[in-house]
Each structure stands twice: as C-alpha cells, then as structure tokens.
Structure 1
C-alpha cells in the first residue's frame, strides 16, 4: 500500500501544477503536517535529551526498503520533485537543511535507513528523479541550485547540507562549485567522479548489446555488496544459465548477505522480478539504460572539471568493497584535490553504503564535527548528546575494558553516607566534578558511560587539545577514542569553554593534574600534580556550581609501568621522536613541563577500578569571588578530599574478594554476565 510510506511532497512552489500528488499527502494532511508554499517544518522542542532514540535500532532492512520503493513508484510520474520523510518527527529548533541527492536510480530513498536519525537534527528533503525523466545533468544542477539559493536567501547564517550518493555526489560538487559564497557542507557517499575508471567500463559495450532485462540484472547485482558472489553471477551468465537460477542459488546460501532480500523478492515478486528490478534501478528499457550511462559519464566529467572551484567542507565516505566504482582510490584523490576535505573508509561495505544496516550517518556527522547551526562550528551550542544507540556502540567498543576491570562506583550522600551507585551526585547543574587521572586516562570511559546509563547525564570533560587535532582521514567506521571524545561532549581545556559550560548549567569533568598526571613517572601513581592557582574554585563560585571531589584507583592492578618519560628521553632516537611529535602538534607545555608520549606498560592479570564521589560542596559565590584567601582554602580542601578518597579506596579494595578477574568471572558464570558483581561494604 502506498499509504505505508511516510512521505510528503515538499516545496510545491517548485513543482508544476501537473505533478501528481503522493498518496501520503492526504494521510499527512489529516495530521496537519502539510507544508504551504515554501514553508518549513516547525521544530517542536528546543533540543535533544541524552539517550534519545535515533531510530537506528529499528531502522528497517532492505526488505522494507524494497517495499518503500515499490510504494513510491506507484506514483512515479511527472517532473523532478522533492519529498520530505516525516517518520522521524519534527526536527530540533533551528535545525539546518539537508538535501539528499540520489544515485543513478533516482528514487530518492537512499537515506531510508537514516530518516528518523537525520530527521531529529536536520530538516530533510530528498530529491526524486522519475524513471522517465530525461532532465540533463545541468538541468539537475539548476534544480538543486534553485532550492539552495532560495533557502540561503532566507537563512544566510545556517549551512545547507548536501548528501549525495554516486551521481548525487557529482551533483553536490557541481552545486558547490557554482556557489562558493553559500555555506555548504557536502557528504559524498562513493561519488561517481571516478566513473571513467569504473570496473564497469570494460562491460559497458557488452551490456549495451544484451537484452534490457539482462543488463538490469547485472547492474543491480553489482550495485550491492555481495563480494565474490558477483563473479558467480556473471560466470553463470557466461555459461548460459538463466540469471534467475543463479539468483535463486545465492538466496539459498546462508552465508550470503542477500538471503532475506532475495527470499522476499522470490516469494512476493515471482515472475515479475525483472520488471521490479527495472523499476527500482530506473532502467526499464534499453534506451533508459543508455541514458543513465550517458548521464553518469557527463556528471563525472562535469564535476571533475569543477573541483578546483569547490571551497565547501567535504566529507567523503568510501566503501572499500565497492564493485561499481574504485571508491577507495577516488577518496584519496579527492582528499588531495579539494581544499577542505575529510575521508572515512569502510572496509567491509559495498557501493550502496547508506543502505547497509551498520552504517549510522548521523553519528558519522557528529564524530567528524560537521554538525553546526551557524556559520562556525560551536562546541557548546552545536553539541548533540549521545543517543541510546551511540551509548551501546561505545559500550561495545569498550567492552574488553569493562569486562577486565568491572568498574565499581560509590557516591556520598549529603549527610555523609557512602552508597553504591551515583545517587549521591546532584541531579541538577551546574556541577563540577574534580578528580585524579589514572595512567593514560583509562578512567574516563567507564566514568562517562556510567553517568549516562544511571543518570542520563552527559559529562562535558575539559580535555587536552591534542585530542581535538583535526583528523582528515580515518579507516574507522566504529568508535575510536577520538570519536568517543567528540560524541561524549569533551571540549579543549580553556577558560572560555569552562565559563560557557558552567553558564549552561552543565556537568563539567575536570582533571586539574592534566596530562602530567595521566602520563606520570614510575613511583608517582596516585600522586596529584595540580596547579597552584585555585582558578576552578573561583569560576565555580561565580555560577554557584556544586563541586564534587572524586577519585579512582586501579591502574596498578592492570599494568606495570616499565618505561616512563625519563627512561624514553634517555634513548636518543626516541627522545628525538618525542620532541618532533610535540613540536609538530604545537603542544604547549604548562608549568608542570610535560611532553606528550606513550609510556611502555606491561599488562597484568586485571584487577578492578574503584570510583568514589565525595560529599558535594555547595559554593556560596560572593565570599569566594571577593576573598582570594577563602577561595584558596576551598581549593586545598577539594585537593585534600581527593587525596583522602584515594587512600580510602586503596585500603578498602583489600576487602573486596572479587578484586581479581578470576573470582569475578566465576561469579558471572554462576549468576549471569548482566548481574552486578558484589564488592566491599563501604
């Protein structure tokens, strides 16, 4: 049923009056969701809550995608148009516009898996090119430009996002080249700028001579990631087997990524398979197939000839198993040619990257810090909290650390009672958490994720600026530590960010010992290296923030420091490498004189991490602001509290019979891995 597809046509002022309506227009009119001429969807709330539902856990499958395409194609007539997926609900306030530019199929459903996630943080519009439309490439560019220029004229302070797949990537680059004065951000998924070097080029003369149904079949097989099974399909065509027989064999292969979609196709479509594939790929006739190839060829040529004029921010998403285009090599080429380009590689994915279940585009945009609602990215006002799926992904990536250290967290109630969990930490900000760093900062990940799980609170850490050095290229599609830093809200340590976070009533995580504490020498574990000036106390008092001193122990239970900074600096070539690294990264030493380096640590049979949050300290404000002596006294009190908590935890952990990994493992085998492992009584 067409009414199952949650779409509405958008910007009727850009559509001729003869354009047929989508059936969902009537359905959504009853929901009062219809848009007037040129009007936008209104935001329903100020922002996103922590652990919001981004929709990726129930994003659907290729089965659902094919159903949606079938629904859409029932009304595939008329000229070019935009439609708006509304299954994600209204976006947050002041959300920027995102235009999706489709691949050669033209149906505009390439963001099908991302509608809800992107719909929460963008106003999403998708371009639809009907199967029988023959608008040339320059006409497609003008169609997109009309919207871009109109939207920029009414909202010049916000960027416009162009997400383009394959052919759509060429469109996005052309529009950006024509409009260097408009603030555009491009996200290109396997752009077709490499079409002249496509693996399909040797096959094109052959495909032109085949029947229309057979070339549809070959092209469709190549457009999805089935690894060496593509070769199997082509071999079967060469030896005279009917392609449907090969497709059926693939559907019986349980190790193949295709069974679910193929079983659906055969059970529902039957003999109409070729007709259906023709519709969803846009090649219903030999003429249509030839037209699309010519369109791709010209689009690639046009985009490449205008790359020098592209000044917009560009993020290239490259599939390393793309069977249609040499996307990995093309990403490297674009990285060198474009002025402001970042690249992410995806090792185990095919051409239709955005239709694969484990690709989360909204998270990728967050991790690369491309999301903004103004001319310049603002780490405070543009920050989006982690979703539930992102917390689960971070937990998955840090699962080994969790399993090996089984972190235990205690907090202190206002009356002084110590309890397990975080109930003693205030629920309302501003709150300043001040504590000690363990070796290499391993304490941060369990701390931030546990606050999200138990209290749904994001800890905004003040971190070393090295963690924010721009990454222009990454092979990671999962979380790495730098992504963790971005997703979970850390900002470079500075008075400016400290001030703004407290003014926003945030929960701020501060390690006064900084990198000197995290990269300490031998014999310095659990020693504090705090500055002399009580700056954070006075800042907290200015906003009436609650200060919560805390400490963590356990680094000596997971590793032994074999080579520290002094040892490494005694080796000439290692010393030179450390100095060069710090000079190249513009790392400025503070008064504690610490170069950044990676210590050599010998792992131990893991023990356990123990955290304790002390009694909250209410800052009265006026006295501390005016009286420097009072501020210094409170600063020393906070520091002594952290030292006291360290001593307390080191002593009490001796009473924990589950401190070692072996008794913890036996307990979890007996009671289940989800059962909380006991610890000492506080």
Structure 2
C-alpha cells in the first residue's frame, strides 16, 4: 500500500518538534550571557543599547522593539524570546551595568532620546516598549512624557505597586544589616528558575523522552549552584539596594503620571508572582488606562519572560497588538500561526475533535464528490459560504482540517464582539477568550476587510446567517437565516473569486437546545440582562428586515448528548471569473445569491440523508473501532 504523503505543514510541525527537543535550557543561556556581559564590561560603564544576534530575517518595515529590563539590568530578560521576536521586530535591549548609578529619571531621559530619534526617522512606524517590573515603570514614564509619539507598551508584572511588595520593608534592613542580602539572593534565584520538578513533569506530559526529562532535571539542580554566583555578581549588595530604592521612585513616578498615558498598552499579569501583587495591578491598569488590554497567566511567576513555555510573540498576535503602521490592518499586519502555535491550539481542542470525529467531503468542478478536501480550489481568492452550526461549534474542525490536510489557512469574517467592546468591565466574557480565534486569522466582518481579503487572494469564510443562525431557536435546526438582499456576490465577482457553498450537520447529535432566546425574553431579569449585554457590543445589520436583524448576544441552555459525528460537505465551486460586469446588475447578483443559498441547503440535505448509513455515527462505535485499530487510526465513513 502506498504511504500517504504528508503535507508541508505537517512536516514542518514534526521538524519544529525535533528542534524544540534538542534546544538548550533557556536559563543556562540567560546566566551564561549575563556572566559574559559582566566580565567584558567589568560591571561598569553607562547604560547602553545592544541588539541580540539571534533572530531570523525580519518582515518588511518591522517596528522597533525596545526592551527595558527589570531589577537585574542585564537586558537579557527576553533572551528566550529573541528568535521569534527577531522575525517580526528590530530588537534593541537596554543594559544597565552593575556599577551604574543613573537615576530613574536619568534612565527615562536616555530612553526618551532614543524614542524621539527613532520616531523622527520612521514617523509611520510604531515603537514598542517591552518592560518587566522596573522596566514597565520606565515604559509608562516615557509614554506619559511623549504623548505625541506612536508607542505600544507591553508590560510584564509592572512594579507600579512596589509599595505593596515584601521588598519594600527590606530597604531599611539592607541599609543596616548586610546579612539580609545573602538570604535574598537564593530566594530571587528560586523565583527565576521556578519549580524544576514541575517543569520536568510538563516535559514528560509533552512526550519528551524520559532520559532527556530526568537528565534535564539533574542538570537543573546542579546548575543552580553556579547560577547563585552569577546572580550575586549581577546584584551585589550595593547594586541591589540601589535598585530597590529606584523601584520605590519608579513606582511613585509611574502612579503620578498614569493619567497622561494614552497609548496602546498590553499588561501581562502573573497569577503566582511572589514579589508583586501583579494580578491585582494588571486589572487596575486595565480599568485606568484608556487603550489597555490585560492577559493573565495563572500558573506563572514574576520572571514571566524567562519561563520555558511562555511565547511573547503568540501573546502579542493573539491580543491583536502587532502592527507596522499607524493603524492596525487585519490583513497586511496578520502573521499566520507557526506550527508550534497551531499545535498548541489544536491540542487544546483535541478531545472535542476526537468526540466529533469530523467527516470532510468536497466536490470537484465536474461535480465528482470525494472524501477529504481535494475538491477545494488551492488558489485564491476563494469564498466559503455556509451554515453556522449551533454556537459556532463547526469552526474549529473546519479550520483545523483545512490546515492539516491542504495547508490552507481559512480567514473567517467574525462578529466585531470578538475584537472590541464598548465597555471594559462588562458582562461579556473577556476578549482574551478569543485570542486563539484571532491567532488563526479571524477578522471583524466589514466591507473593507472583505475587500482586502479578496484582493489578497485569501481563502475567506463567511456565514451570512451570523449570530442569528448560530444562536437559533428551538425547532430551527439547520434553517438558514440569510439577509433578503445579497451581500457578498458582487464583491466576490469583482476579484473573480470562486464561491464554495457548504453545509455542516451534527449539532443535533452533540446537544439539545432547551432554553433559547424566546424563553429568556419572557423572564424580566433575563430580558433586561440581554438588553444590557447588547449595549456592550457593536451592532450589525441594524437596518436589516426580518429575523437576520435580531442578533442580540445571549447564552443558550443546552443538554449534552452522547456525541455523534460532524459532517461537512463543500459543494461544487461556483466561478465568478469574467462575470464582473454581468453581476454588477443587482438582479443577476441576487440570482446567484439565491443559487448559493440553495446549494448550501442542498449540502445540508445531502449530509442529513447520507449520515444515516454511517455505522460509526455514534461515539461508542468509534471508540470500539479505535480501541481495535489504535486511537490515531482514521475512523471509516459512509460509502459515497
């Protein structure tokens, strides 16, 4: 039997996994490089910028990223992130030598001089200030003093709440009791290196070889003794006391100037920060700053950037904070997920994928139906138009299978509530819950974004029924709720896009809707709740007639079932190339619109009929098959 050929994306995923397994320990690099820096400069000299050697070829017009260090001052706090950051940023790191005694305001002026110079040379590009603890206070101070410069702040565990830290009362003790410093250094080291046993268990769960996991644990334990000497050289008693006094000044200054910070800010808060109340401070900054987003890392400690499983680029991308111009462009500024990013997202949905065991069918242009996605056009622009299943459960398997089988990234046109809210501390789930959706390429549905997707020859995904379809009522299963007037035909024809109608069924095998919108609107307090929630989001189709205009956000009550299968059928592609002039006529465009809608309904009807002959529709039969053939074995489908 001929071996199934893997697509380039799957091969790249395997290659990346091998590289991760053979990579060096991140803390080893940090301490080794710190030792070299201190030796070369003998701990002296003024503050200076350096650019790390790591990193690949950058994107065109990559913005400048200035890293502002924490209490260590080495500028190496991003060392584990250099390779990935270097592909999309021009990185400069601030080094504050051990013997340097530049004041906090002196450092602010030093950074400010660089910021203004770079802004003058490249006025159309933003400048990123990435700071941790002390560095975060420096970034806030620079932003407050330079409201006319286009800055983006990324702040990890800001020391703005230093007065609440256990380090604050340590200052007078250090001034009179030097022995306290000898107790502090090992404690600081334990915070930096983390729990070695927990890391070893994480590696074992990720499938790393046992001998490598045990060897790494032993190496970590041995290495800690050598780390102590390096850390003592980075923070000798006099320097440590100076930095603590600077933190006190930095905290007070940042708090007094916070009202002047108007730039985009992303706060990263660790849930297990033992130095600062970072989680509480992160929420406070989120509410106080005008353009602020907050991301929480419940299991992380103070030295977030040095943690082995933290990826700053993924966080920035998911929070939609990466841009190369004055304003964010969801199309040109988008960076596709790397294989490790996709693997992480896929693994988080693995149980759902196993439970639903998606069946993918597609049609070639001659009408031939095949298993898999071979019938879908490879070259864009392509517009997928289909039915939105209950609560949008259809999206994850669809996008995942296209990437795994065809190496095609589907860019979904999604509701704006996944990207922006009118109220920060409202009733809706936090925006961080949708970071994965944005990482995988979703954009807010709008005419301009649709235009850009088609002009960039993307594979785009559109659900004309939107929220009304995904949050349908009882008795409306597999019913389309499309606008009366055509919305997408003429735009697709303008760029000669192929329209692929598709249907999906399986929601009725996964859960039963028992408490819908109509039921909730009969209960006064729930009706008021829905109205308040609706005020927090950008409304769509407010002038549309009929049911499609009723898209108020609400939660549905469903009863889970033993999971059946999800079935997808991508119908015969509809060609619009050469029909641009013809489809400018509203009547002709509406005819094609109704044709697409009819094809979607036909796809749904086809799947509902054929799934009845699937012997593996029930999850119990699929489990039995995989128990006999291996849980990675592909479960058979019905005959075509």
Secondary structure at 1:377 match in 2: coil
Tell me, what secondary structure is at the counterpart of 2:86? helix
Distance in 1, matches of 2:388 and 2:81, equals: 38
Conserved? CA contact 1:537–1:631, under 8 Å: yes
Maintained 8 Å contact 1:520/1:564? yes
Matched residue, 1:345: 296
Residue 106 (structure 1) aligned with residue 73 (structure 2):
yes
User: Displacement of 1:554 after TM fit?
Assistant: 0.4
Alpha-carbon distance, 1:606 to partner: 0.3
Match of 1:278 among 232, 256, 271: 232
Instruction: Tell whether the 8 Å contact from 2:141 to 2:253 is kept in structure 1 after alignment.
Output: yes
Q: CA deviation at 1:182?
A: 0.4
Question: CA deviation digits over 1:435-489, x for unaligned, max 9?
Answer: 1111111111111122222222221212222222338579xxx996511321122
Give, in angstroms, the shift of residue 256 of structure 1.
11
Partner Cα separation in structure 2 for residue 371 and residue 71 of structure 1: 33
8 A Cα contact 1:63 1:261, kept in partner:
no
Gaps of 5+ in 2: 1-11, 204-212
Residue 293 in 1 paired to residue 244 in 2?
yes
Which digits, 9 at most, give the CA deviation of each residue in 1:385-415, with x for residues without a partner?
1221221121122223212111111111222
Alpha-carbon distance, 1:225 to partner: 7.2
Q: Is the 8 A contact 1:557 1:606 kept in 2?
A: yes
Q: 2:104 aligns with which of 137, 149, 162?
A: 137
- Counterparts of 1:45-444 in structure 2, within 5 Å, are 60-77=25-42, 78-208=45-175, 209-211=177-179, 214-221=182-189, 223-224=191-192, 263-264=218-219, 267=222, 274-279=228-233, 282-284=234-236, 286-444=237-395
Tell me which residue corresponds to 1:648. 606
Are 1:612 and 2:569 an aligned pair? yes
1:191 and 1:596, CA in 2 relative to 1: closer, same or farther beyond 3 A?
Answer: closer
Partners in 2 of 1:358 and 1:254 — Cα distance? 12
Cα deviation for residue 426 of structure 1 reads: 0.7
Kindly report structure 1 stretches of 4+ aligned residues shifted beyond 6 Å. Answer: 50-57, 250-262
Question: How far apart are 1:268 and its partner, in Å?
Answer: 5.5
- Written as runs of structure 1 = structure 2, the 5 A alignment for 1:593-672 is 593-594=549-550, 595-619=552-576, 620-672=578-630
Deviation per residue, 1:566-585 (Å, 9 max, x gap): 22222222222222322343
Query: 1:545 Cα shift?
Result: 0.6
Match status 1:570 vs 2:522? yes
Return the TM-score normalized by structure 2: 0.88
CA-atom RMSD, angstroms?
Answer: 3.0
| Greater shift in the superposed pair: 545-554 or 328-337 | 328-337
Kept in 1, the 8 Å contact 2:295–2:432? The answer is: no
Alpha-carbon distance, 1:205 to partner: 3.9
Q: Which residue is 1:44 aligned to?
A: none
Measured at CA, do residues 226 and 116 of structure 1 come closer, stay the same or move farther in structure 2, by a change above 3 Å?
closer
2:502 alignment partner in structure 1: 550
State how far apart, in whole Å, the 2-side matches of 1:155 and 1:480 are: 31
CA offset digits 1:108-161 (Å, max 9, x no partner): 111122111211111111111222222222221122112111110011111100
Aligned residue for 1:544, secondary structure, equals coil
The offset of 1:654, in angstroms, is: 1.2
1: CA distance between counterparts of 2:290 and 2:199?
45
Contact 2:464 2:483 in 1 (8 A): yes
Change (3 A) 1:345 1:473: farther
User: Hey, what does 1:39 align to over in structure 2?
Assistant: none
**Cα distance between partner residues in 2 of 1:492 and 1:158:** 23
Alpha carbons of structure 1 residues 678 and 205: separation in structure 2 relative to 1, 3 Å: same
User: CA 1:170–1:98 in structure 2 vs 1: closer, same or farther (change >3 Å)?
Assistant: same
Secondary structure of the residue that 1:74 maps to in structure 2? helix
Q: CA deviation at 1:613?
A: 0.7
User: Which of 488, 494, 499 is equivalent to 2:446?
Assistant: 494
Q: Is the 8 A contact 1:343 1:472 kept in 2?
A: no
- Give 1:261 deviation, angstroms: 8.0
| Change in 2 beyond 3 A, CA 1:184/1:479 | closer
The Cα of 1:666 is off from its aligned counterpart by 1.9
Show structure 1 runs of 5+ residues with no match: 1-49, 228-249
> Is the alpha carbon distance of 1:267 and 1:598 closer, same or farther for their aligned partners in structure 2, counting shifts above 3 Å?
closer
Deviation at residue 648 of structure 1 after TM alignment: 0.9
